[in-house]
Structure 1
Amino acid sequence: MCNTKIRTVLVGALSCGDPAYPPLLTRVVGGEDARPFSWPWQVSLQYSSSGNWYHTCGGTLIAPNWVLTAAHCISSSRTYQVLLGKYNLKATEEGSVAVSPQKIIVHERWDSSRLADGNDIALIKLSQSVALSNQIQPACLPPANSLLASGVVCYVTGWGRLQTNGALPNILQQGPLVVVDYATCSLPAWWGSTVKTTMVCAGGDGVISSCNGDSGGPLNCRSADGTWEVHGVVSFGSSLGCNYYRKPSVFTRVSAFNSWIATVRV
């Protein structure tokens, strides 16, 4: 009985989108500390400065040697590392690993001066494949061109600021966001023409949103079979503030880029 149980946990940890430690989804307003290691595909993208490493963006492990993030997180002048299997960025946690990128591929149509044009997506090939475990596991990709229904509750995760100009937490945060369909999100009172069909809007209630430091991280949505898929990459929010009414968090829609991801990973 005991051995069977252990095997079940480990097998779950080796498939995509099926955490060994399932997240506790309480839908707390404003977000909350995540359950330790319950989003095992969440990574911290860090840059080097004066001999130290600093968190700059989130990312999602989608294969043992590939991480999905946002194009706007990448600067050619910076040296990066990817931290996997982390919960508390300031603590030493057994089982976590730091891996340097072998190469970083930014989408060829990304234009940093035209954020609203979209294509805010990048892939990081790790210098080595990471050993999958209960703490480190890939998320599933959604089916190509799939669209989330309005009103679906997904979860944004990351180490981004707790509020506009607020502190950066050490503990991984999670927050529920309700998906807003394109027809609504593109209304003039919402994002208007800024939002494109290759993006996902979620939130806009004036309470919960992604914030600075969450960029590049996942919008986690549960599929019909119970596994977690990364449907979005945190792209941008309102310059008016992180939790602005009718200015939902905007994500790069991963399902619009399945073929690009497959081509890059060849």
Structure 2
Amino acid sequence: MYRIYLLPLAVAIISGTTNTISARSPGPISSTRSPTPRSTAKTSIIGGDIATPGSTPWLVSIRDAQYHPPPHFCGGTILNHYWILTTASCVTSSSINLLVVLGEYNQDEDEGYEKKRTPLLSLIHPNYTYFNMHAYNVALLLVSYFSYGERIQPAPLLPNPGDRGMWQYRDESEEELTRKKFPHRFKDEKWDLEGVEGLIAGWGRMNSDEYSSVVLEANLTILSNDACQSAYPDEDMESLMCATDIVRGGVGACMGDSGGGLISKDGYVLGIYSYAEPCASDEFPGIYVNMSVIQQWMCPIIRHHQPERLFRENIDFRIHSSASSLD
């Protein structure tokens, strides 16, 4: 069971077949450097760097379309030709008029790579509540089909050896071999990601009142569950994890980066940025939704061969917008 937030189709009901999470074959999760080229230019973004144009093709800008021009307020991650991953709080606490911009780098310029889509449907994890806005803080946005390009590419989800439908193992030996490819341990069918390094990118706040017009990025390391629980004793950490820069300190995502994916060296989505208060604090690391906990809910949805069928499911739907999708 999941909640559906319905947005009427403005052009035509989606047709065709969705792609799987990625055409890329599973590879080892690394705890070393980021998966993207890095610029040497430093900025004032809470310790981050200016990203190289096109180096974060999975990243999307989510904007509030009730204003003109629509301002950026959250990030998201491309999963396939139809689905965008973000946080539930980005969907429920903002305007109902959402706009997704793919292929974006510099928000002050039209560089010719951008594609714009109005979400047709948003699905929110059933365990997410307004009373605990960080646990299971995840949403999926369904948009009309878009093609991949130089600056528009999906990011694969973590392999789950227990999900035969996801990877279609031929036999148990192949499943065991896939497990051996990954050096990190499993705990209760979850990845133990402590010590793994990931890249967070976005257009979020650089200081108290200034946002970045270009993509900024930072390399962060996932902390132990105990360290995360110690920093946030009142949070339910079952679906959460924390990440920070353990070398330099004072580095991290901030307002406007929420919904963005924490991406491993090999391109896998490790987590979704949810919250940090104050931003980039050594004492209070950023909180991320742990992807390995929520993928069992997500995978059947994003692998749906006929996304339009989701519109016909009579499950707690709400109308959000009648705006059309844009190319």
TM-score (norm 1): 0.82
Deviates more, 1:73-82 or 1:227-236: 73-82
Task: State yes or no: 1:150 paired with 2:194.
Answer: yes
Residue number in structure 1 paired with 2:118: 100
Distance change >3 Å, CA 17–CA 97, structure 1 → 2? farther
Residue number in structure 1 paired with 2:259: 216
After superposition, what is the alpha-carbon deviation per residue over 1:222-248, rounded to whole angstroms, capped at 9, x for unaligned?
2xxxx301111111112xx20222211
Match of 1:199 among 234, 240, 247: 240
Aligned to 1:33, the other structure's residue is in SS state strand
Match of 2:270 among 231, 236, 242: 231
Distance 2:60 2:24 in 1: 15
Q: CA deviation at 1:48?
A: 1.4
Task: State yes or no: 1:170 paired with 2:207.
Answer: no
Identity %: 26
Distance 2:58 2:67 in 1: 28
For residue 52 of structure 2, what is the amino acid of its counterpart?
A: R
Distance 2:146 2:115 in 1: 8
Higher strand share: 1
- In structure 2, stretches of 5+ residues that fail to align are 1-21, 27-34, 161-188, 305-327
1:117-196 matches, cutoff 5 A: 118-126=135-143, 128-144=144-160, 145-163=189-207, 165-187=208-230, 190-196=231-237
After superposition, what is the alpha-carbon deviation per residue over 1:130-177, rounded to whole angstroms, capped at 9, x for unaligned?
1111210000101234425433221111111113x2311000010011
After superposition, what is the alpha-carbon deviation per residue over 1:72-115, rounded to whole angstroms, capped at 9, x for unaligned?
00137521111001110111011210011111111122112322
Deviation beyond 6 Å, 4+ runs, structure 1? 26-29
Deviates more, 1:46-55 or 1:100-109: 46-55
State the number of aligned residues. 239
1:57-76 matches, cutoff 5 A: 57-75=74-92
Distance 1:178 1:148 in 2: 13
Distance 1:77 1:24 in 2: 34
Distance 2:48 2:296 in 1: 33
Distance change >3 Å, CA 51–CA 171, structure 1 → 2? closer
For residue 258 of structure 1, what is the amino acid of its counterpart?
A: Q
- In structure 1, stretches of 5+ residues that fail to align are 1-13
Match of 2:64 among 26, 47, 54: 47
Distance change >3 Å, CA 215–CA 124, structure 1 → 2? same
Distance change >3 Å, CA 180–CA 219, structure 1 → 2? same
Q: Is the contact made by 2:39 and 2:51 (CA closer than 8 Å) also made in structure 1?
A: no
Distance change >3 Å, CA 260–CA 185, structure 1 → 2? same
Q: Is the contact made by 1:67 and 1:123 (CA closer than 8 Å) also made in structure 2?
A: yes
Distance 2:217 2:99 in 1: 23
Distance change >3 Å, CA 17–CA 229, structure 1 → 2? farther
Deviates more, 1:67-76 or 1:148-157: 148-157
Distance 1:60 1:211 in 2: 17
Q: Give 1 or 2 for the bigger CA radius of gyration.
A: 2
Task: State yes or no: 1:82 paired with 2:100.
Answer: yes
Superposed CA RMSD in Å reads 2.3
Distance change >3 Å, CA 84–CA 17, structure 1 → 2? farther
